Amino acid sequence: MPVEFLSAERQARYGRYSGEPTPADLARSFYLDDRDRELIAARRGDHNRLGVAVQLCIVRYPGTFLPDPTAVPSSVIAYVAAQVGVADTSCLLLYGRRETTWREHAGEIRRAYEYRDFHDPAEHLEKLDEPASLLRLRDGVNARLPRVDLPDVILEVQRWTDFADAFTHISEGNARVHDLTTSICAVLLAEACNIGLEPLIRPDVPALTRGRLEWVQQNYVRAETIARANALLVEAQARIALAHAWGGGDVVSADGCASASSCAPSTPGRTPRISAWAPVSPTST
């Protein structure tokens, strides 16, 4: 396997034992089954039988053939030798000196068990046909998903929930400008997508000029206003019947990691259903 992408330290450690395997490791990866024993029995001499047995095991743990098949922990050698009936484990040194032999054995193991290096060509792998049921499901889902731009989604959610009303000026509570909602949604999109304001600036649109967006970003978007807006979204989601089928809102998921929900609704006594923005129509059933 190519290891050029690894650091020098990791390359030195790759494919080597970092210590003695645990008893659980030995039982899981170094037990020889009937097929293994049949392959081992075809070898002549204790050194060859023990050598092949060790190579069979090390390709499973640590997962690759070693440049020196004898460079394994003593516990591994003893565990494998006991299974193949070799009393004198020092014979493995003779096996290690015969590089041509142990390389041939490694090739036999690859062929017998159909092992492949990651960089080997995969020409023999055949593409699996997608079942007709999957194709129908995919077409059905795609037909139900409208193709819309993300800014349109955010503005539509704003029309459902009025979450932008939660964003107030940091020092002037009544400070308002025309079409402030569009500016707030633009800044939220820029920060959520980590793209900065530049892609959203439109000098010909008053709500999207550089000065307006920078003013909104500095004075309206902060932790407390985001928390208030998020609470409005949670309450709106809780009014959707389908949301109740998703659970009690005690656990949320982001990037594949589950965690406890910490978002409280703005109205006491209300139970949050989710703690993230969810652009689902309030009319959904």
Q: What is the pLDDT of residues 7-61, one digit of tens each?
A: 555 444 445 666 788 888 888 888 889 989 999 999 899 999 999 999 888 888 7
The residues, any chain, with a CB within 8 Å of residue 251's CB and separated by 6 or more, are 258, 259, 260, 261
- Which of 260, 259, 263 is closest to 278 using CA atoms? 263
Whether the model pTM is above 0.75: no
Report, in angstroms and rounded to the nearest whole number, the Rg of the chain calculated over CA atoms: 32
For residue 92, what are the CA distances in angstroms to 47, 50, 74, 86, 202?
Answer: 5, 7, 11, 10, 75
Q: What is the rounded average pLDDT of the residues 215-233?
A: 94
The residues, any chain, with a CB within 8 Å of residue 278's CB and separated by 6 or more, are 233, 237, 243
Q: What is the mean pLDDT of the chain?
A: 80
- Which of 111, 136, 140 is closest to 124 using CA atoms? 111
For residue 60, what are the CA distances in angstroms to 32, 110, 125, 195?
Answer: 11, 12, 22, 45
| pLDDT number for residue 3 | 43
DSSP state of 254: E
Give the model's confidence band at 129: pLDDT under 50 very low, under 70 low, under 90 confident, else very high: confident
SS3 label, residue 259: strand
| pLDDT number for residue 83 | 93
| pLDDT number for residue 63 | 74
Can you tell me the distance from the alpha carbon of 277 to that of 145, in angstroms, rounded to the nearest whole number?
A: 18
| pLDDT number for residue 251 | 57
Q: Is the pLDDT of residue 276 over 80?
A: no
Among 51-55, 115-119, 136-140, 143-147, the range scoring the smallest mean pLDDT is 115-119
Pick the most confident of 119-123, 157-161, 254-258, 269-273.
157-161
User: 25, 81 in Cβ contact below 8 A?
Assistant: no
| pLDDT number for residue 78 | 93
**Maximum separation of any 2 CA atoms in the chain, in Å:** 92
Q: Is the pLDDT of residue 272 over 50?
A: no
For the chain, percent of residues with pLDDT exceeding 90: 40
